[in-house]
Amino acid sequence: MPLKITGAVDPELLDLPWSVPLETWPEDTLAALPRGISRHVVRFVRFRGRVLAVKETVGPMAQREFTMLKDLGRMGAPCVVPFAVVDGRRDKDGNELPAALVTEHLQFSLPYRALFSQALRDDTLDRLIDALAVLLVRLHLLGFYWGDVSLSNALFRRDAEAFSAYLVDAETGDIHASLTAGQRNYDIELACTNIIGEMFDLQAAEELDDAVEPLDLGDRIKERYCDLWSTLTGKETFHDNVRYHVAERVKALNELGFDVAELDMTQTSDGSELSIHPKVVDAGHHSRRLLRLTGLDVQENQARRLLNDLDEFRAVTFPDEEETLAAHEWLARNFEPTVRAVPKEFRRKLEPAQVYHEVLDHRWFLAEKRSNITMPEAVASYVKHVLPARPDEAAVLGHAIGTSAEGDPETSTETRSIPAWQLPPTVGRLRD
């Protein structure tokens, strides 16, 4: 079979060295990005100014995962975007090579191992697990059974105080009209087992303090998942003031970042009580509102933070103005000048919305010493004192962020340790 590319409409994809096993692709093709634990050989490659993730697997599996990621994307799931399937690969002697699934690298995303460093905040681990629990709930609401839930199979983006998790490996999954309790429980059990395994492994690598108890982290994902699931889908029964309770329920879900698209209300058999049960809930309550008001497309917690600032701005500056007009003013007077104040050389460190969030935090910190700190003052101080020490997280294209501890040829189960924070950027190649 000749080389066959499905998906991407980009002939330049043919120029990548498909006749060479991925393990031995030339370093000038590769982008040195941190990798998670994988069953397969996975590499990040530079392609026309962006970064693609390439995973070797068998043809039908690559095609299946490509289609599944496309479907998930259409359904609004937080997952990586599939780019192409490359099949029919042969080396120069005509021997068959595995097919490859190509996905777009998610900008500003990091595998969990990249977040373990000296600069690790105490609660980073908890926040990662909470993000994974939210991801799992969102996928389950869409009818996606994952089949291999783990920190390794997700990517994380900073999202204000929290993290947002994205699905990167869908090969074990299935999309159903809705999931059975058995499917959900099995995914939770797998998540629990895999997270504990990942923590044991970090401890074996001396990247995680032995004081952390992996078994507790396994319990945490279970609890977080179950709490969120029952808040989102649980049935409540009331005998009076139903209108108030419905409004409260919707408000509580909004605060968690979910919109209620459909709500079932059922009278109990004796007619004395009414049960309410959210039937369809959509994630992204705050990000949708921010997008509508400002056109900014950011993650949920960032949106929540920005909206708080916007609401405060409106209350103080334009109390009688219509919301959309106040939003326009906020964008022009607050948001844009703040993110523009970040010098070009620092713009790869964090997403603009994350910068804005951190500047707000920084202003609060400064305000402890002196009140009436303005945004321009806060951003100037932030750019001077905080931002230079932050790592580049855009795509770290061409910067050595992943290094191999042992430096031998990588195997598919091998994971690189990533002391990303401390390394000086070495342009253009992987460090061995």
Partner 1 sequence: MATVTFDKASRIYPGTERPAVDQLELDIADGEFLVLVGPSGCGKSTSLRMLAGLEDIDAGSIWVGDRDVTHVQPKDRDIAMVFQSYALYPHMTVADNMGFALKIAKVDKAEIRERVEAAAKVLDLTEYLDRKPKALSGGQRQRVAMGRAIVRQPQVFLMDEPLSNLDAKLRVQTRTQIAALQRRLGTTTVYVTHDQVEALTMGDRIAVMKDGKLQQVGTPRDMYDAPANVFVAGFIGSPAMNLGTYTVNNGVAQVGNGQVALARDAVAALKAEDKNQVVLGFRPESLDRVAPNTEGAVPINVDVVEELGSDAYVYGTVAAENPGAAAMHFEAGGSSEVIVRIDPRDVPKKGDSVWVKIREGEQHIFSSATGDRLSKAVQSSVSL
State the residues that interact with partner 1 by CB under 8 A.
37-39, 57-58, 60-61, 96, 98, 145, 148, 152, 171-172, 177-178, 180-183, 185-186, 189, 192-193, 196-198, 200-202, 204-205, 215, 218, 406, 408, 411, 413-415
Structure tokens at 102: 């190509």
Of 180 and 266, CB closest to partner 1? 180
For partner 1, give the closer residue by CB, 39 or 390: 39
Judged by beta carbon, residue 186 or residue 318, the one nearer partner 1 is 186
Alpha-carbon dihedral 298, 300, 304, 305, rounded to 10 degrees: -60
Q: Between 162 and 221, whose beta carbon lies closer to partner 1?
A: 221
Gyration radius from the chain CA atoms:
24
Distance, CA of 135 to CA of 146 (rounded, Å): 11
DSSP code of residue 335 = I
Distance in Å, CB of 216 to partner 1, minimum: 11
Q: How far is the CB of 174 from partner 1 (least distance, A)?
A: 9
Distance of alpha carbon 136 from alpha carbon 145, whole angstroms? 9
Distance in Å, CB of 126 to partner 1, minimum: 19
Q: How far apart are CA 75 and CA 385, in angstroms?
A: 42
Least distance to partner 1, CB of residue 185, Å: 6
Specify the residue, 130 or 171, whose C-beta has the smaller distance to partner 1.
171
Q: How far is CA 211 from the centre of its chain?
A: 27
What's the min distance (Å) between Cβ of 59 and partner 1? Answer: 10
Q: Which is nearer to partner 1, 14 or 215 (CB)?
A: 215
Q: Please state the closest distance from residue 207 (CB atom) to partner 1, in A.
A: 8
* Number of residues that make up the chain: 432
Nearer to partner 1, 38 or 403 (CB): 38
Residue (57 or 334) nearer to partner 1, CB: 57
Taking the least distance from each CB to partner 1, the nearer of 181 and 427 is: 181
Angle between helices 124-141 and 181-204 (to 10 degrees): 160
Cα angle for residues 161, 164, 168 (degrees, 5° grid): 155
- Least distance from partner 1 to the Cβ atom of residue 342, Å: 37
Q: Decide whether 111 or 284 has the Cβ nearer to partner 1.
A: 111
Nearest distance in Å: CB 110, partner 1: 18
In the complex, minimum distance from the CB of residue 30 to partner 1, in angstroms, rounded to a whole number: 20
What residue ranges in 76-183 does DSSP mark as E strands? 81-87, 99-104, 109-110, 144-145, 154-159, 162-167, 174-175
Q: Is 169 exposed, middle or buried (0-12, 13-18, 19+ CB in 10 A)?
A: buried
- From CA 416, how far away is CA 420, in angstroms rounded? 11
Helical spans, DSSP H, in 205-299: 214-233, 242-255, 285-294
The label of the residue with tokens 């690969």 reads 89
Distance CA 255, CA 354 (A): 20
Report how far apart, in Å, the C-alpha atoms of 406 and of each of 250, 416, 432 are.
53, 9, 8
Residue 280 · residue 261 · CB < 8 Å: yes
* Block residue for tokens 């321009």: 376
Write down the least CB distance from residue 401 to partner 1, Å: 18
